[in-house]
Structure 1
Amino acid sequence: MATPVVTKTAWKLQEIVAHASNVSSLVLGKASGRLLATGGDDCRVNLWSINKPNCIMSLTGHTSPVESVRLNTPEELIVAGSQSGSIRVWDLEAAKILRTLMGHKANICSLDFHPYGEFVASGSQDTNIKLWDIRRKGCVFRYRGHSQAVRCLRFSPDGKWLASAADDHTVKLWDLTAGKMMSEFPGHTGPVNVVEFHPNEYLLASGSSDRTIRFWDLEKFQVVSCIEGEPGPVRSVLFNPDGCCLYSGCQDSLRVYGWEPERCFDVVLVNWGKVADLAICNDQLIGVAFSQSSVSSYVVDLTRVTRTGTVAPDPMQDSRPPAQQPPHPSAPLRRIYERPSATGSEPQRVKQNSESERRSPSSEDDRDERESRAEIQNAEDYNEIFQPKNSISRTPPRRSEPFPAPPEDDMATAKEAAKPSPATDVQFPVPKLEVLSRPPVVTSTPAPKAESPIIPATRNEPIGLKASDFLPAVKIPQQAELVDEDAMSQIRKGHDTMCVVLTSRHKNLDTVRAVWTTGDIKTSVDSAVAINDLSVVVDLLNIVNQKASLWKLDLCTTVLPQIEKLLQSKYESYVQTGCTSLKLILQRFLPLITDILAAPPTVGVDISREERLHKCRVCYKQLRSISGLVKSKSGLSGRHGSAFRELHLLMASLD
């Protein structure tokens, strides 16, 4: 009798070298599940067709590493944000740059396309969220409220709301038309990495580094349930297209969850490490992960995965008792999104309520767009996927075909990949409590012993010292490996570039130190300025700022122009050093400068007094130049805002 061929539930599709340097971000096209975009430290955005080895298109123009990428729903546009805060939008069908958007002051951490109007939302490490009209290059709204980097943005399916997740442990919901926050969802005890709207109902899911997934009711604005005990930080979640369950891409596994009540339907072991994005097409879930310059793709056959409380018959067994599962509700429990009738229409109220933050295109933007290119690397795959406008495709695209599953080599493994036995099919309902315990897990593969439910009880409690803090920590090998892997990944990222920068900086500081040893502070500062490296000036000022007696009037004439540059820097430490130095100068020398300039002229020639008067005039002119900059920044929020307001008060006598 012939042995039946058994296929795998999950398998690795391929691994490619996506960039010349480290991959820093990636995203899957959610409509097809077959288009992959990657961003790298080489400042490029590359496009790939899943399961094909060659790059389809390479997008250039960014001058710093690409930190975030996002495809729109029809997969015709792509937006990429860089480490410097710039955003570029490309038209993939026309193979050209569409827009360059400037305005953020730090890394772009998150992006999303509006589902209907031609808008893009961006979240940054500068804590701001901006809504852009990509037709006019304009910023429509700026949303303020987060206190740390905004890690994820998602528009609601009806296009009326925007959800944001940030390192400040909060999730916020914004009303796009009113331009204000509707609700804040506290509860996570770690940075929130991802948010996803339910495709139909008023429900929002959020995943955090505190190893929990929370579900939020968007009518009552309260928590519905909480999944605890994830193997590691939650980085990627995705609702099933019909909304029956939520998939969580965990470390080396896919978990399938329900939320009312909270429970785990299935666990599928997938050796994908830290999966970065998920997409679904043809009952297959595609997961992608990256490590250094490589990107790997994986497939999970969802027809072999339990997705609701009702378990499908097992093809490996002739008969089995029905599982005692709560029936899946036939009707949604809450309100359903009302989508616009015409997908091309945009919400009119957004246009009417737009703030006056738009800016006209500048020549610098035009130059950026001329220098940004879309280079087609593989014309055959490009024509198949994008089918350029005004052309007729002779053959239908093949991207919708399911990926064939490889035959199972080991029958023992096949049995492990099969559906759970009747004993493990029974779901144990978990009561909904405000403080929720880890839900029972029903696995489609036997869980390794390392995943036994030994979870520290203090994981989600407020940080504070307890008796257990003074005892040796219990070492869990799997968690230790995860931490080591995260640490090594961060160390490797940009290591070579940083070594070059630090070597150059060390050489410049040696030059300055050689002059410093002679005791001539003024000449040391002059040599640092002559090197034309602000990092060296900052290092030197940090030393001089510690001893006020080192400051002299002639030193101020050299330092003040550098302070003006520091106050305009995108680096927080540079701005802080500039504020400290300017405060010292104002407190120590401004009264002297104003008194000398106001004093009546003396009779006769006094060379030393003339020199001092000249220095005071130079300093006064420089301070007047800086005062406008300080005044413009005094309205900022946070620590820098208060520092600039203090400087503005100290400089009041200049007016």
Structure 2
Amino acid sequence: MAASVATKTSWKLQEITAHSSNVSSLVLGKSSGRLLATGGEDCRVNIWSVNKPNCIISLTGHTTPVESVRINTNEELIVAGSQSGSIRVWDLEAAKILRTLMGHKANICSLDFHPFGSFVASGSLDTNIKLWDVRRKGCVFRYKGHTQAVRCLRFSPDGKWLASASDDHTVKLWDLAAGKIMFEFTGHTGPVNVVEFHPNEYLLASGSADRTVRFWDLEKFQVVSCIEEEATPVRCVLFNPDGCCLYSGYQDSLRVYGWEPERCFDVVLVTWGKVADLSICNNQLIGVSVSQSTVSSFVVDLSRVTKSGSGLHGPIKDDRPLAQPTPTGSSLRRIYDRPSTTCSKPQRVKHNSESERRSPSSEDDRDEKESKAEIQNPEDYKEIFQPKNSITRTPPRKSEPFPAPPEDEPVIVKEAAKPSQVVDIQTPLPNQENPDLVQRPPIASSTPVTRAEPSVIPAARNAPIGLKASDFLPAVKNQSQCEIVDEEAMSQIRKGHETMCVVLTSRHKNLDTVRAMWSTGDIKTSVDSAVAINDLSVIVDLLNIVNQKASLWKLDLCTIILPQIEKLLQSKYESYVQTGCTSLKLILQRFLPLITDILAAPPSVGVDITREERLHKCKLCYKQLKNISNIIKNKSGLSGRHGSAFRELHLLMAVFE
């Protein structure tokens, strides 16, 4: 009897060979539940319609395995992050690359689209979270706080917050407009794999490798409840659209949870294995799993699943009396305050407006020309992404639920043709001009650039410059399109001007602070204050003065400045790198012989406090220089002026080889 119920409640829909190599990431579209994106070790991103055997679009451009993918709310854009740290955004309707975003130093582990604005958040193995403006191709802000890889990112339904889950066992909540952390949730004893906001209430769920699901109150910032002692790690979670329960995917089952009090309402046996993502449509839950190059899809009929304490099957694993069911529409906590708007979906960026164009840098232009969207199945592509009335497009048709197979017949498994076996129909790439309104500084990368540009975000800044809370809210469409374009153009121009004024005002204030210390004659205290300000532009201004008078350099100064020089040498700004090289050369010429001699000298007899202090400073400087020598060695092969400067420093630092 149990087997019969299980057969009716869940079934395997399809199995496809998604890539020519292992699948490294996959995600479902959350609007239709019918769009599937897979990323592979073959460096491709393939787009599928669930329950159809052939790939619709194959996206190329990444040069390392694709480790994270995400589809936006309208299922019009897709973002993919690679093992090397690069991020690419494609427009699925136009079948072309939209943006290439560079800046992370390691694998991209997590991505998410903002529900309203043109923003993408990325989390990396380098422990950083970055917020990108897709329209203007820039990194808006960097959120630092995690100490290990960031495995999952989710924007709140109202677009004001960002939740992050990490291998460091924590969940953090960030305020986007303020650009700072709101709270850190601790309690998990293993890496946190996934986080998900309740669709209506101030409630957050997190699933971990410690085999627990925790629920967090976002008003009181405390744990609501914890589901413990499940058999396998939590792989993915999803709230029911009305917020009545949480679905959690495990190795061999789907579990349905309530949180006040914590209880398991139902368990559905599903042999999906490494389930990676869940989506809901037509009262059916769609789950996708991966095994090497194979992707399987499964369906659970939610009409046969118990979602509350008064259901068909009754509560599971819980003998406590049930709390009174909460009336529909009521809530135990605050509801997200979504602003009223007549705009039913986020406003799309117009790519053909002359007022919005700017020429991309040659490097980005070349990179984007090498990225292609190859339409593999023209019929499905036109049906899904290019209907006659594109304004009312609804990605893959979702009018009918997936039919369950007969109980006495096995599920027919279809295998897709591999991308390499399908005849590629190349679409001509459109003009790759960027639709940006203002010039933005180049995105930070691991290779130095050959020109200096003003920094958009000073290091001492605690909030994103040029952004306000309204940037993270849906726009109200109450004017003609022409008026909106003109107004937006002027707004962006003013925003750039205000940004530069804020940068210069902040820098002037910081320099006044350092100058006040400098005027007392205490150079060390002045340098200490500059470092404490945490603004590299101030460090550069100070070093440009100190470099003019070598006698100002002391061993004490070296221990403070060397960590800052390490940052300057890795900067994307030419002037910063140049100043860092000059200061390092002076330190090596003046102090390296002294440091090596003191470290090589035999230990003294008796107590000599002055000598011990000097020895301690020399050991600290030696360690710092050793770290810098690795950077110098890696950059000594560069061409141009910087290359020759790094080669000269490499010779001076031969003692560290």
TM-score category, normalised to shorter length? 0.5 to 0.7
Check the 8 A contact 1:93/1:388 in 2, yes or no: no
- Corresponding residue number in structure 1 for 2:221: 221
C-alpha distance after superposition, 1:540-581 (max 9, x if no partner): xxxxxxxxxxxxxxxxxxxxxxxx9xx979xxxxxxxxxxxx
Give deviations 1:582-621, integer Å, cap 9, x for gaps: 99x97999429999xxxxxxxxxxxxxxxxxxxxxxxxxx
Contact 2:165–2:193 at 8 Å: present in 1 too?
yes
- Aligned pairs for 1:232-243 (under 5 A) are 232-243=232-243
| Structure 1 vs Structure 2 CA RMSD | 3.7
Report SS of the residue matched to 1:120: strand
In 1, are the aligned partners of 2:306 and 2:313 still within 8 Å (CA)? Answer: no
CA drift at 1:408: 1.4
One-letter amino acid of the structure 2 residue matched with residue 141 of structure 1: F
Matches within 5 A, 1:279-428: 279-312=279-312, 325-330=322-327, 331-342=330-341, 361-387=360-386, 398-409=397-408
Shift of 1:249: 0.3
Which residue in 2 is equivalent to 1:68? 68
Once residues 240 and 149 of structure 1 are traced to their aligned partners in structure 2, the CA distance between those partners, rounded to angstroms, is 28
* 1:57 maps to amino acid: I
Q: 1:568 to 1:389 in 2, by over 3 A?
A: farther
Cα drift, residue 101 of structure 1: 0.3
Counterpart of 2:518 in structure 1 is none
- TM-score normalised over the length of structure 1: 0.59
1:233, distance to aligned residue in structure 2 (A): 1.0
Q: TM-score, normalised by structure 2?
A: 0.59
Deviation at 1:399, TM superposition (A): 3.4
Could you tell me which amino acid in structure 2 is paired with residue 303 of structure 1? S
Question: In the alignment, is the contact (CA less than 8 A) between 1:281 and 1:400 conserved in 2?
Answer: no
CA–CA separation in structure 1 for the residues paired with 2:395 and 2:96: 24
**Corresponding residue for residue 257 of structure 1:** 257
- Give, as a single letter, the amino acid of the residue that structure 1 aligns with 2:309: G
Note closer, same or farther for the CA distance 1:627–1:388 as it changes in structure 2 (3 Å cut): farther
Report matched runs for 1:29-108 at 5 Å: 29-108=29-108
State the match for 2:182 in structure 1.
182
CA distance in 1, matches of 2:345, 2:313: 46
2:646 corresponds in structure 1 to: none
SS at match of 1:168: coil
SS in 1 for 2:115: coil
2:203 matches 1:203: yes
Residues 346/263 of structure 1: CA separation in 2 closer, same or farther (3 Å cut)? same
- CA displacement, residues 508-554 of structure 1 (integer Å, 9 cap, x when unaligned): xxxxxxxxxxxxxxxxxxxxxxxxxxxxxxxxxxxxxxxxxxxxxxx
For the 8 Å contact 1:117–1:344, the answer to whether it is kept is no
What is the match of residue 576 of structure 1? none
1:591 to 590, 593, 618: 593
Aligned ranges 1:472-511 → 2 under 5 Å:
none
3-state SS in 2 of match to 1:279 = strand
- On the 8 A contact 1:24/1:39 being kept in 2, the answer is yes
Q: In 2 relative to 1, CA 15–313 (structure 1 residues): closer, same or farther, beyond 3 Å?
A: closer
For the structure 1 residues 90 and 224, does the alpha-carbon distance in structure 2 shift closer, same or farther, using more than 3 Å as the test? same
In 1: Cα distance, 2:241 partner to 2:156 partner? 14
Inter-CA distance 35–394: structure 2 relative to 1 (3 Å threshold): closer
Partner amino acid, structure 2, of 1:371: E
- Counterpart of 1:329, as a letter, is T
Once residues 19 and 395 of structure 1 are traced to their aligned partners in structure 2, the CA distance between those partners, rounded to angstroms, is 27
Q: Deviations over 1:273-330 (max 9, x none)?
A: 121000000110000000110000000000000001111499xxxxxxxx97543201
> Partner of 2:56: helix, strand, or coil?
strand
The equivalent residue for 1:143 is 143
CA distance in 1, matches of 2:283, 2:345: 31
**Residue correspondence of structure 1 range 518-597 to structure 2 within 5 A:** 590-591=592-593
Contact 2:35 2:395 in 1 (8 A): no
Contact 1:64–1:83 (Cα < 8 Å) also in 2: yes
In the alignment, residue 409 of structure 1 is paired with which amino acid?
D
Residue type matched to 2:375 in 1? Answer: I
Question: Is 1:132–2:132 an aligned residue pair?
Answer: yes
C-alpha spacing 1:43/1:5, structure 2 compared with 1 (3 Å): closer
Q: Which residue of 2 aligns with 1:28?
A: 28
Q: Deviations over 1:381-407 (max 9, x none)?
A: 112211258659999963331000112
CA 1:394–1:159 in 2, change beyond 3 Å: closer, same or farther?
closer
Mapped partners of 1:289, 1:6: distance in 2:
19
Q: Structure 1's 344 and 177: CA in aligned 2 closer, same or farther, altered over 3 A?
A: farther
Query: Could you tell me how far apart the structure 2 residues matched to 1:21 and 1:210 are?
Result: 30
SS of corresponding position for 2:190 = coil
Shift of 1:229: 1.2
Query: Closer, same or farther in 2 for the Cα pair 1:126/1:325, shift >3 Å?
Result: same
Q: 2:36–2:48: 8 Å Cα contact kept in structure 1?
A: yes
Identity %: 83
- Distance (Å, rounded) in 2 between the aligned partners of 1:32 and 1:70: 14
Query: What per-residue deviation string (whole Å, max 9, x for no partner) do you get for residues 479-510 of structure 1?
Result: xxxxxxxxxxxxxxxxxxxxxxxxxxxxxxxx
Q: Distance in 1 between matches of 2:56 and 2:99?
A: 21
CA 1:594/1:258 → structure 2, altered by over 3 Å: closer, same or farther? Answer: closer
Matching residue of 1:8? 8
| SS of equivalent to 1:181 | strand
Aligned partner of 2:281: which letter? Answer: C
In the other structure, the counterpart of 2:459 is none
Task: Tell me how far apart the structure 1 counterparts of residues 396 and 102 of structure 2 sit (CA, whole Å).
Answer: 36
Could you tell me how far apart the structure 1 residues matched to 2:5 and 2:181 are?
55
Query: How far 1:628 moved relative to its partner?
Result: 13
Matched with 2:231 is 231
After TM superposition, give the deviation of residue 410 of structure 1 in Å: 9.0
CA–CA distance in structure 2, aligned partners of residues 75 and 395 of structure 1: 9
**Distance of aligned partners of 1:6 and 1:591 in 2 relative to their CA distance in 1, 3 Å threshold:** closer
Q: What amino acid maps onto 2:50 in structure 1?
A: I
How far apart in 2 are the matches of 1:375 and 1:410? 37
Deviations 1:176-213 (A, max 9, x none): 00000000000000000000000000000000100000
> Once the 2 structures are TM-superposed, how far is the Cα of residue 53 of structure 1 from its aligned partner?
0.3
- How far is 1:114 from its partner? 0.1
Whichever residue aligns with residue 220 of structure 1, its letter is K
SS state at 1:177 partner: coil
Q: Distance in 2 between matches of 1:163 and 1:52?
A: 34
Structure 2 CA distance for partners of 1:178 and 1:400, relative to 1, 3 Å: same
Conservation of the 8 A alpha-carbon contact between 2:34 and 2:396:
no
Measure, in 2, the Cα distance between the counterparts of 1:6 and 1:128.
Answer: 43
Change in Cα spacing, 1:372 to 1:229, as seen in structure 2 (3 Å) is same
Structure 2: stretches of 5+ with no match in the other structure: 315-319, 347-357, 411-565, 572-583, 598-624, 636-648
1:628 and 1:68, CA in 2 relative to 1: closer, same or farther beyond 3 A?
Answer: closer
Aligned twin of 1:603: none
Contact 2:32 2:395 survives alignment (8 Å): no
Q: Which residue of 2 aligns with 1:559?
A: none
Q: Note closer, same or farther for the CA distance 1:27–1:346 as it changes in structure 2 (3 Å cut).
A: closer
Cα distance between partner residues in 1 of 2:210 and 2:384: 39
Aligned residues of 1:32 and 1:400 also touching (Cα < 8 A) = no
Q: Distance in 1 between matches of 2:275 and 2:305?
A: 18
* Alpha-carbon spacing, 1:194–1:200, altered in 2? closer, same or farther (3 Å): same
Output the amino acid matched with 2:106.
A
What is the distance in 1 between the residues matched to 2:178 and 2:103? 21
Structure-to-structure mapping, 1:584-623, within 5 angstroms: 590-591=592-593
Mark the runs of 5 or more structure 1 residues left unpaired by the alignment: 315-322, 348-358, 412-563, 570-581, 596-622, 634-646
Residue type of the partner of 1:300? V
Residues of 2 paired with 1:295 and 1:6: CA distance?
Answer: 22
Aligned to 1:232, the other structure's residue is in SS state coil
Are 1:204 and 1:217, in contact at CA under 8 Å, matched by a contact in 2?
Answer: yes
Matched-pair contact (CA < 8 Å) for 1:215–1:223? yes
* SS of residue in 1 equivalent to 2:363: helix
